[in-house]
């Protein structure tokens, strides 16, 4: 089984959909925060880190919900080939999904890397420095290069290894469950096409219609947590205790 998740799985953990009305992209123009501009303009890097400083605590402090725990339960039951998430919040890993089977295809806001030398940087430490006003635009301690949250920005190339792994899993799975994705952001939105073409069944769990609904063997309309709890109970993979918050 392959699972693909999008923003709708994390809104139930209090993480806003930044593309929705009133979201961050109504206050920050994504056209002014492209990867090329980040690389070439100090002003853009300053704006980008201002945005990142606003969003980081929300993502860092969020807790997984029943849908995240359901995906982790699928893996524990030995039924998961791969989890591909479009989210950058790290909630699947916090819920217990293994890093080995998780593909964060759009990266993670909880990490930071130098785009010049690839060095990893402590995201929490950077956040504290930014809050304290000690830096406005972090630079790499090793090479002096440009440090960026480890997410895929507008105009930035998708990570080759992660993308290849996601599409390989789509071609190999017998079932693809899509949870909380609008299926309009590519290349991840192509995964249902690849899976169905290869003979897999498609199940879409989402509050609203998606462009791939006509490919689905089953559509589940409703909240991600409640819907996934119902599906796992129906499959005999979990009970209420297993999907409740862990102490």
* Residue 68 appears among annotated catalytic residues: no
From the candidates 68, 92, 106, 121, give the one annotated as an active-site residue: 106
The SS3 call for residue 58 is helix
Max distance between CA atoms of the chain, in angstroms, equals 55
Burial class (CB in 10 A: 0-12, 13-18, 19+), 173: buried
Question: What are the b/e assignments for 111-146, b being 16+ CB within 10 Å?
Answer: bbbbbbeeeebebeebbeebeeeeeebbebeeeebb
CB-CB contact of 85 with 185 (8 Å): no
Q: How many CA atoms lie within 13 A of 76 on its CB side?
A: 14
- Measured from the Cβ of residue 70, the count of other Cβ atoms closer than 10 Å reads 29
Give dist(CA 18, CA 29) in Å, integer. Answer: 12
The SS3 call for residue 82 is strand
Can you list the positions of beta strands (E) in the chain?
2-5, 82-85, 102-104, 107-114, 120-121, 147-151, 175-179, 201-205, 218-220
Give dist(CA 27, CA 54) in Å, integer. Answer: 12
Known catalytic residues are 106
């Amino acid at each position: 089984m392959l699972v693909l998740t999008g923003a709708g799985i994390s809104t139930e953990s209090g993480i806003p959909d930044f593309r929705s009305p009133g979201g961050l992209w109504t206050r920050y123009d994504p056209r002014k925060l492209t990867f090329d501009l980040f690389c070439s303009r100090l002003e853009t890097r300053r704006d980008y880190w201002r945005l990142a400083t606003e969003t980081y605590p929300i993502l860092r402090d969020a807790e997984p919900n029943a849908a995240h725990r359901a995906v982790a339960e699928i893996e524990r039951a030995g039924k998961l080939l791969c989890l591909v998430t479009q989210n950058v919040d790290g909630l699947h890993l916090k819920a217990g999904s293994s890093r080995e089977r998780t593909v964060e295809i759009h990266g993670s806001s909880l990490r930071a890397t130098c785009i010049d030398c690839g060095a990893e940087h402590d995201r929490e430490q950077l956040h504290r420095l930014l809050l304290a006003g000690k830096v406005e635009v972090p630079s790499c301690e090793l090479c002096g290069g440009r440090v960026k949250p480890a997410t895929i920005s507008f105009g930035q190339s998708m990570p080759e290894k992660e993308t290849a792994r996601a599409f390989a899993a789509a071609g190999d799975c017998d079932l693809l469950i899509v949870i909380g994705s609008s299926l309009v952001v590519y290349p991840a939105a192509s995964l249902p096409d690849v899976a169905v073409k290869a003979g897999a069944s498609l199940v879409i769990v989402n509050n609203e219609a998606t462009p791939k609904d006509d490919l689905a063997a089953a559509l589940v309309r409703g909240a991600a947590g409640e819907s996934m709890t119902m599906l796992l109970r129906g499959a005999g993979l979990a009970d209420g205790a297993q999907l409740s918050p862990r102490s």
